[in-house]
Amino acid sequence: MLDLGLLLTLYPPPKRGAMNTTVPPAIRIKGIEKSYKDLHVLKGVDFDVARGSVFALLGSNGAGKTTLVRILSTLLKPDAGTAEVDGFDIGADPGRVRESISLTGQFAAVDEILTGRENLVMIARLRQVKEPKAVANGLLARFGLADAGGRRVATYSGGMRRRLDIAMSLIGEPSVIFLDEPTTGLDPEARIEVWNIVKGLADAGTTVLLTTQYLDEAEKLADRIAILHQGRIIVDGTLAELRTLLPAATVEYVERQPTLEEVFLSLVGDRSPAADQAAEKDADKEGTR
């Protein structure tokens, strides 16, 4: 079982009537600094995230992406600087911030022993959502997990786990969602499924802050991209703005080779329910051995 204390921190029950009337931005970060002993990880980070947009925070391993996400989700206190999430100050109003957000960490937080449906029902109960079972079933259907809902998560593929993880984070309809490296470790098809989920969230008006090490992910998904490097945001703009930072494109003839990803996807085809079922069967065999 997962630690219930941790779950309650991550999924506190929403307060009714906690409507906020504040207007954009959904996230405002000013001068955030954080050190771990002598390691000065964040040296003054500033940026805004517009309501209903997808914002990609790019950075290499160890750049401080998770540290910033943990600060914004009130799990870690900054040494300096301020941030507002959904109009609430992370220092003065951490409870209200937690009511507005959900966090999907870099490592799937699903409980292996429980079934997919039981995981969802548990979180729905923690968040005091009405009709937890109906909410769970709705999310299973929405994330292509209806058939797998009654099986233990231990038998799920990596992509299925990540989808369940994101489904869990949507319970209670948070207005801001943090996805910390949502596709790290996933195969190309599962990555595309997660991308589609993120696009769907943004289309529905949710603000998404995602961190990634993958340039193509930021390019495909984000309305705005910031690069965190050596403790600071070194660029922050739309893809078009970022492109203008490079010298103007020159036209030259290049015979374009397909990327390995295109080759892979054309050979294995799009992820179909049949592919999921095959993955599940394999996982079943593993489980009964």
Return residues touching ligand ADP (CB under 6 A): 36, 39, 41, 59, 61-67
Residue 61 touches which of Mg ion, ligand ADP, none (Cβ within 5-8 Å per kind): ligand ADP
**Rounded distance between C-alpha atoms, residue 281 and residue 147, angstroms:** 12
Residue 39 touches which of Mg ion, ligand ADP, none (Cβ within 5-8 Å per kind): ligand ADP
Shortest reach from residue 38's CB to ligand ADP, in Å: 10
Q: Which residue is nearest to Mg ion (CB)?
A: 66
- The amino acid occupying position 262 is E
**Rounded distance between C-alpha atoms, residue 56 and residue 177, angstroms:** 12
**Rounded distance between C-alpha atoms, residue 222 and residue 238, angstroms:** 8
Cα 142 to chain centroid, rounded = 17
Residue 67 touches which of ligand ADP, Mg ion, none (Cβ within 5-8 Å per kind): ligand ADP
Shortest reach from residue 92's CB to Mg ion, in Å: 26
Closest CB to ligand ADP among residues 38, 252: 38
Residue 113 touches which of Mg ion, ligand ADP, none (Cβ within 5-8 Å per kind): none
Shortest reach from residue 42's CB to Mg ion, in Å: 13
Q: How many C-beta neighbours within 10 Å does residue 214 have?
A: 15
**Rounded distance between C-alpha atoms, residue 284 and residue 253, angstroms:** 50
3-11, long-range: CB within 8 Å, 24+ apart, which pairs? 4/126, 7/122, 7/123, 7/126, 8/126, 9/75, 9/98, 10/73, 10/98, 10/102, 10/103, 10/109, 11/102, 11/123, 11/126, 11/127, 11/168, 11/171, 11/172
Residue 36 touches which of Mg ion, ligand ADP, none (Cβ within 5-8 Å per kind): ligand ADP
Closest CB to ligand ADP among residues 64, 116: 64
Closest CB to Mg ion among residues 66, 157: 66
Shortest reach from residue 233's CB to ligand ADP, in Å: 13
Binding to Mg ion, residues 22-81 (CB under 5 A): 65-66
Closest CB to ligand ADP among residues 57, 153: 57
Closest CB to ligand ADP among residues 64, 94: 64
Shortest reach from residue 67's CB to ligand ADP, in Å: 3
Closest CB to ligand ADP among residues 85, 135: 85
The token duo for 34 is 């954080």
Is residue 75 within 8 Å of residue 7, measured between CB atoms?
A: no
Closest CB to Mg ion among residues 107, 264: 107
Shortest reach from residue 105's CB to ligand ADP, in Å: 10
